[in-house]
Amino acid sequence: MSRIVMKFGGTSVANVERIRQAARHVKREVDAGNQVSVVVSAMSGKTNELVGWVNESSKLHDAREYDAVVASGEQVTAGLMAIVLSEMGVPSRSFQGWQVPIHTDDAHGAARITEIIPDELNARMDEGWVPVITGFQGIVPDTGRVTTLGRGGSDTSAVAIAAAVKADRCDIYTDVDGVYTTDPRIVAKARKLKAVTFEEMLELASVGSKVLQTRSVSLAMKEKVRVQVLSSFVDDDAPLADTLPGTLIVSDEELEGLDMESQLITGIAADKNEAKVILTRVPDKPGAVAHIFGPLAAANINVDMIIQNVGREKGETDVTFTVPGADLVRTQALLEEHKDTIGFNRIITDPKVAKVSIVGVGMRSHAGIAATMFQALADRGINIQAISTSEIKVSVLIDEDETELAVRVLHTAYGLDTETA
């Protein structure tokens, strides 16, 4: 008997027929003798619809009301899933975040889970019930107000619940059947990976591989939750516990134990949701950068790549950085608000950029990997606007129109193409 948390994303619960298909996966695991909790997203498109209404109501809305509106989507799918499961003979009930309860901080719109009280979930599972929990949300215990965890937060909910109920595995069912060396819609020769490390997945997720949300992966790494990504659109009557048909995301140690062919580069990721911001003629003095990024951090805007072009004018510099495209308007407003403190001349923005990254734990022990990347891009005339690196990743910022070309070029350059495709 294993204890499994099964999470179904928006496309896996897009309508009642798909919810039924997802429920069959749940029933299969229950029939195999496993204890299961289910976490669901909103129907695909629904969250966008709700966010659209909020933005139509007011550009500058109270984040608490945003959350009150947007959290309604998962409530619908959780209830429907519980109904479908019950009809299949699997006793089930839905839980909203506040009913579990899932406690969060009060960073409305991008809240962090602070505590999950698992008693009710554990009791239900011990009795053979399947709790179906709304992903993406929780409650601030002090104020009693509903929070959301930010886009993609349902993955984080699932991993946090898996940790809280001490699950053996957290299965993330989605519309792809695993993690690929790159987006198969861009590169037909992309290969599915049998396993990746948490750190690789973290880089792949954070640079936009779209399979798993970043925070969920770092939480899984911290809480040592084994995660599997797999497709909900494959009908398979056999229990998955032994077959593991998706991509397993595990620790370095467990990956070594799996004895798989090692690769210098695990995958190539691309992210078009970045926007570039250039502040011209910022005073080149200590503290200047803090004046720029302090207000953005306070507003929960994640700044990614930062480049400081020194020496433009004496005592002045241009500062370039990227933010999520969705935060660009807020970023501009905040910077204008703090213009006097920062002391810049002009804001230039460009939402038409993309970040392309190569990721792999193999990078740690091999030099010259980045050089291959720069050369391959240069050979195709792709201009690099910015570079950032980590221990297992190299990212470049390029013109958005060249994204697909860059990914294909790099996929080939690092020998990731499949023989047959």
Binding residues vs its own copies (CB under 8 A) = 16, 19-20, 50, 53-54, 56-58, 60-62, 64-69, 71-73, 75-76, 78-80, 82-84, 86-87, 93-94, 96, 98-99, 144-146
Whichever of 32 and 83 has its CB closer to its own copies, that residue is: 83
User: 257: number of CA atoms within 13 Å, CB side?
Assistant: 7
- Minimum Å distance from CB 180 to its own copies? 33
- Minimum Å distance from CB 258 to its own copies? 39
Whichever of 94 and 320 has its CB closer to its own copies, that residue is: 94
Please give the Cα distance from 43 to 10 (Å, whole number).
Answer: 5
Nearest to 130, CA basis, from 21, 28, 240: 28
**Token digits of residue 365:** 């022990």
Whichever of 5 and 19 has its CB closer to its own copies, that residue is: 19
Please give the Cα distance from 144 to 94 (Å, whole number).
Answer: 19
Report the DSSP pairing between strands 137-140 and 145-148. Answer: antiparallel
Q: Which residues of 196-221 are buried (b: 16+ CB within 10 A; e: fewer)?
A: bbbbbbbbbbbbbbbbbbbbbbbbbb
CB atoms within 10 A of CB 346: 9
Q: What are phi and psi of 94, to 5 degrees?
A: -90, 150
- Minimum Å distance from CB 63 to its own copies? 10
Whichever of 96 and 213 has its CB closer to its own copies, that residue is: 96
Whichever of 108 and 112 has its CB closer to its own copies, that residue is: 108
- Minimum Å distance from CB 32 to its own copies? 23
- Minimum Å distance from CB 285 to its own copies? 39
Please name the amino acid found at residue 345.
Answer: N
Whichever of 145 and 151 has its CB closer to its own copies, that residue is: 145
Whichever of 71 and 292 has its CB closer to its own copies, that residue is: 71
DSSP assignment of 294-314, as one string? HHHHHTT-----EEEEEEEET
- Minimum Å distance from CB 162 to its own copies? 23
- Minimum Å distance from CB 145 to its own copies? 8
Please give the Cα distance from 1 to 34 (Å, whole number).
Answer: 5
* 273 three-state secondary structure: coil
